[in-house]
Amino acid sequence: MITVRIPTQLRSLTEGSAEVPAEGATLADVIDDLEVRYPGISQRLLSDGELRRFVNLYVDGEDARFLQGLETSVPAGAEVAIIPAVAGG
């Protein structure tokens, strides 16, 4: 099982949960699984099959854009974090 951390912007879809379980071998699979559990979440994260510009995904703290993007494999027990982009500092 994989744990997914949900940002406040998406908690209206997860009944307020900040952390939800999911299954999947890759990030794309995890998003598909989330869509089954929480319909509507996929289109909030993806646009034309690509990760939206202002959404960042992390697998165990590592930015998926440095890995294989949506094809990044997600090991069992991993934590996936969905985090909106923020301004700098």
Partner 1 sequence: MTDPNASVLLADPRSAVSGLRCRECGQSYEITAQHACEFCFGPLEVVYDLERVRETCSRAAIEAGPPSMWRYAPLLPVLSAERVDIGAGWTRLRQAPRLAAELGLHKLWIKSDAGNPTNSFKDRVVSVALSAARSFGYEVAACASTGNLANAVAAHAAAAGMESVVFIPADLEPAKIAATSVYGGTVVGIDGSYDDVNRLCAQLAGERPWAFVNMNLRPFYAEGSKTLAFEVAEQLGWRRPDAVVVPVASGSLLTKVAKGFRELDAVGLVPASESVAVHGAQAEGCSPVAAAFASGARDVQTVRAHTIAKSLAIGTPADGHYALEEVRSSGGAIAGVPEGDIEAGIRLLARTEGIFTETAGGVTVSALEQLVRQGAIAPDEETVVLITGIGLKTLDALGPVSPSTTVRPSLDAVERALEEVLR
- Rounded Cα gap, residues 18 and 16, in angstroms: 6
User: Do residues 4 and 52 touch, judged by C-beta distance below 8 A?
Assistant: no
Length of the chain counted residue by residue: 89
Are the C-beta atoms of residues 38 and 56 closer than 8 Å to each other? Answer: no
Q: For residues 74 and 29, what is the distance between their CA atoms, to the nearest angstrom?
A: 9
Pattern 9-48, binding to partner 1, x per CB under 8 A? x--x-----x-------------------------x--x-
> Closer to partner 1 at the Cβ: 11 or 21?
11
Nearer to partner 1, 77 or 88 (CB): 88
Of 25 and 39, nearer to partner 1 (C-beta) is: 39
Among 4, 27, 34, 55, binds partner 1 (CB under 8 A): 55
Looking at residue 43, the DSSP 8-state letter turns out to be H
- Binding residues for partner 1, rule: CB under 8 A, are 5, 7-9, 12, 18, 44, 47, 52-56, 58, 61, 63, 65-66, 81, 83-89
